Chain A
């Protein structure tokens, strides 16, 4: 009977725990929230510098900026250019940073900074509309040469990708094709390649990439060839026909026709410098959570004040877990079921040793005063009320005395919940009268021991990190508490308590 009725229960708990763990893993993978604190992630800081000379006319400078570059995720963008109006505009898949100013004279410098994280899962944008090959017209005698080359390449290939590779090989000086010399020159090579591919019915375009190396300045963009394979743009090295983007190459310009459009200036030049930084992985995840669809599951969206409150609140289940374990499995007696958690929370604020000293002294002084109160023959409610006021007096007295003597730790008593302390004193005092000092010490020491255990767990950086950044792990805590609620085995303390039974075995 017992076993059958509990199977659905255990199954539900298993589901709960599995759900908690899998959501946590999912968010770790998707959002990159690190499991541990202090984990660092590399971040590339790339700065584009636009130089030009003003000619006394209104200036509009428009720089193409990266838009979902494959292999990277953008985490921040920022422009630095005093006196200029700045905005980021986006039209038909072309993201541009635009600077504008009415009256510009002399040499000008504009900066645009972008922070990127390497991310192998970022595959680049998928075009909203299916690109079509652009119509190309050739004049004789090029037309014949192009036709011939394309035919040769087509014969050796089966797919757009292999066609592209073969064509690139044919166009190389040592490619073995005679017609290449007629067509190819150093200046028009990449343009020629894209035009030929378009002519062959393969949508192709050029993209500009940037090789990222730590602490390089004045770098220029390198052209890459991109063809559309029916689902996304594939990148090729236009010289070696190597498919795919080399590591640490950022495709700065992809869809746009021009890198820089400048109206009202002369001698424009764009150059890039870059720096490899490390950023705490957590900060990165927080920055990204806004953009990611999973972001709504996290607490990062809340105002900072509420976040810090939740940081504390989310630690409480751990304290509850410790109390449940200590009472159900170990069998430690505490005064008041969850009083240890509240004390542990106060310890988190006060730190352990000053907290312990403050707590014990407040309770000890309170017990002395309660002894006098009991001789006054007061009603319970007014006695507790009086005790609360006395506890506040005691804490104030300890704070002031501690401060005058130069111990700032005296001030920390204020973190203890006064009402709870008053009730603790009341219960301990009654316990003392009824069961003697021994029971008071057992329960008091038990409470403090559990509180210190809960504090030690709650105060580890890992605990606060995990509970706050993976709130779903509380399902696991809940599942464990449910499981403990079904624990019918012997408590550790009972193995000692029932020891005399040994003689009857």
Chain B
């Protein structure tokens, strides 16, 4: 690994962390909207009003004594996900894909006991994974089963689609595929593969893992070049709608495509990462500036998605 000159980065329009924080997050994201995205439970409720669907909520564990109900509820379930409502960066999310006798099978294939999950719930309530260490609630959601077309690329975990939405316009997107290194999680800094997606048509562009370009998925060995996301426009509109729901000017929208229910919103992020630029092989800045320069913004999510598809082709 070598170094790249800051002038070259500037030329590429790479958004960097300091500029993202000062010029975009601090300017376009109002503090009062943060709880909406930092708390997954609130996100679920607020986006539902805007016809954005999320995985079905099975249980909310708010108090220590409610943990005992969890075992009864989980008895009948095959797969579910336990999430801290205020968790960040995928921390504290445990995905159970099935049962093996009394034990639960994690997405990684390892087996855990019910008491492990109860301890995990207790940790979540105590605030171990919450942003400021404050007490939290745990939510138990229906397990998302990805459509086979996408699931085959991912190792174990569910692939998700991150779309950066700026002032309601989807500006950049990538597909995130779990790997062995990422322990079934779709987080890029944990080793997941990021595949840049063309906003215009949902086709794959470049792929990166650990910030390095790759062409094949390291575990499944599948070529990532000619991948296409179905229902692309619908997903862009869905992401665009989250702007109305939360009022956040600069955010990351994480979507999954469920085999039975179609596209679902997994979570929103008020501080989306920068790695999406590497997966796309281009910087965010020119696109963000283009939106900032718009004299007459579009009012409906459909119009904005259409504008983005027309404007942000792979060449720009």
A491/B17 contact (C-beta < 8 A), A430-B128, A499-B4, A500-B211 known: yes
Task: Please measure, in the bound complex, the distance between the C-alpha atom of A495 and the C-alpha atom of B12, giving whole angstroms.
Answer: 13
Which residues on the A side are within 8 Å of B119 (C-beta)?
377
CB-contact partner of B16 in A381, A490, A505, under 8 A: A490
B299 at the interface (CB under 8 A from A): no
Nearest CB in chain B: distance from A504 CB, A: 4
B1 engages A379 (CB within 8 Å): no
User: Which residues of chain A are near B213, meaning CB under 8 Å?
Assistant: 500, 503
Closest to A431 in B: B91
Q: Is the pair A377, B4 in contact by a Cβ cutoff of 8 Å? A: no
B8 at the interface (CB under 8 A from A): yes
Residue of B whose beta carbon sits closest to that of A383: B126
Q: Flag whether A186 is at the interface (Cβ < 8 A).
A: no
The one of A379, A485, A496 in contact with B122, judged by C-beta atoms closer than 8 angstroms, is: A379
Instruction: Report the minimum CB–CB distance from B258 to chain A (whole Å).
Output: 26
Question: Judging by beta carbons under 8 Å apart, are B212 and A500 in contact?
Answer: yes
Check A435 for interface membership: any CB of B closer than 8 A: yes
Residues A380 and B128 in contact in the complex (CB < 8 Å), given A498-B14, A500-B211, A500-B212? yes
Q: Is the CB of A498 within 8 A of B9?
A: yes
CA–CA, A214 and B18, complex, Å: 63
| A490 touching B127, Cβ below 8 Å | no
Write the nearest CB–CB distance from B128 to chain A, whole angstroms.
5
A 450-503 contacts with B by CB, 8 A = 485-491, 494-503
* A-B interface contact total, Cβ < 8 Å: 87
> A328-B18, A488-B18 are known contacts. Are A501 and B190 too (CB-CB below 8 A)?
no
Measured between beta carbons, the chain B residues less than 8 angstroms from A502 are 2, 4, 8
Which residues of chain A (89-129) have a CB below 8 Å from chain B?
none
The answer to whether B238 has its CB under 8 Å from any CB of chain A is no
Q: A2-B23, A496-B3, A502-B4 are in contact. Are A491 and B12 (CB under 8 A)?
A: no
Q: Which residue of B lies closest to A377 (CB)?
A: B119
Q: How far is the CA of A4 from the CA of B47 in the complex (A)?
A: 37
Complex interface residues of chain B between 2 and 26 (CB less than 8 A to chain A): 2-6, 8-9, 11-12, 14, 16-19, 22-23
Q: Knowing A379-B126, A380-B127, A495-B3 touch, does A501 contact B18 (C-beta < 8 A)? A: no
Chain B residues with CB under 8 Å of A486's CB are 22
| A382 nearest CB neighbor, chain B only | B126
Q: What are the residues of chain A within 8 A of B19 when measuring CB–CB?
A: 488-489
A434 within 8 A of B: yes
**Residues A504 and B281 in contact, CB atoms below 8 Å apart:** yes
Check if B240 is an interface residue, CB within 8 A of chain A.
no
Bound: A490/B208 CA distance, A: 21
A interface residue count range (under 10 / 10 to 19 / 20 to 34 / 35 or more): 20 to 34
- How far does the alpha carbon of A240 sit from the alpha carbon of B217 in the complex, in Å? 102
**B64-92 Cβ-contact flags toward A at 8 Å (1 or 0):** 10000000000000000000000000010
Selected from B9, B115, B122, the residue in CB contact (under 8 A) with A501 is B9
Given A380-B127, A489-B6, verify A498-B18 contact (CB < 8 Å). no
Q: How large is the interface on B (under 10, 10 to 19, 20 to 34, 35 or more residues)?
A: 35 or more
Q: B282 on the interface (CB 8 Å rule)?
A: yes
> Within 8 Å of chain A (Cβ to Cβ): is B278?
yes
Q: Report B-chain residues with C-beta under 8 Å of the C-beta of A503.
A: 213, 281
Residue contact B126 to A501, C-beta cutoff 8 Å: no
B135 to chain A, nearest CB (A): 9
Nearest CB to that of A328 among chain B residues?
A: B18
Q: Does B269 contact A (CB under 8 A)?
A: no
- Residue contact B8 to A505, C-beta cutoff 8 Å: yes
State A494–B213 Cα separation when bound (angstroms): 16
Residues A381 and B23 in contact, CB atoms below 8 Å apart: no
A495 touching B5 by the CB < 8 A rule?
Answer: yes
> Which residues from B are CB-within-8-Å of A488?
16, 18-19, 22-23
CA distance A328 to B17 in the complex (A): 9
Chain A nearest Cβ from B250, distance in angstroms: 14
Q: Does B97 contact A (CB under 8 A)?
A: no
Q: How far is the CA of A444 from the CA of B282 in the complex (A)?
A: 32
Q: How far is the CA of A485 from the CA of B23 in the complex (A)?
A: 12
Report yes or no: A491 in contact with B11, Cβ–Cβ below 8 A.
no
B145 to chain A, nearest CB (A): 25
Q: How far is the CA of A362 from the CA of B126 in the complex (A)?
A: 26
Whether B123 is near chain A, meaning CB under 8 Å from some CB there, is yes
CB pair A505 B11 closer than 8 Å: yes
B15 to chain A, nearest CB (A): 10
B227 to chain A, nearest CB (A): 19
Residues of B whose CB lies within 8 Å of any CB of A are 1-6, 8-9, 11-12, 14, 16-19, 22-23, 64, 91, 115, 119, 122-123, 126-128, 190, 206, 208, 211-213, 277-278, 281-283
CB within 8 Å of B: which residues of A?
A: 2, 328, 331, 377, 379-381, 430, 434-435, 485-491, 494-505
Beyond known contacts A498-B14, A504-B12: 15 more, CB 8 A cutoff: A377-B119, A380-B126, A485-B22, A486-B22, A487-B18, A487-B22, A488-B23, A489-B6, A494-B17, A498-B277, A498-B278, A499-B1, A499-B4, A501-B8, A502-B2
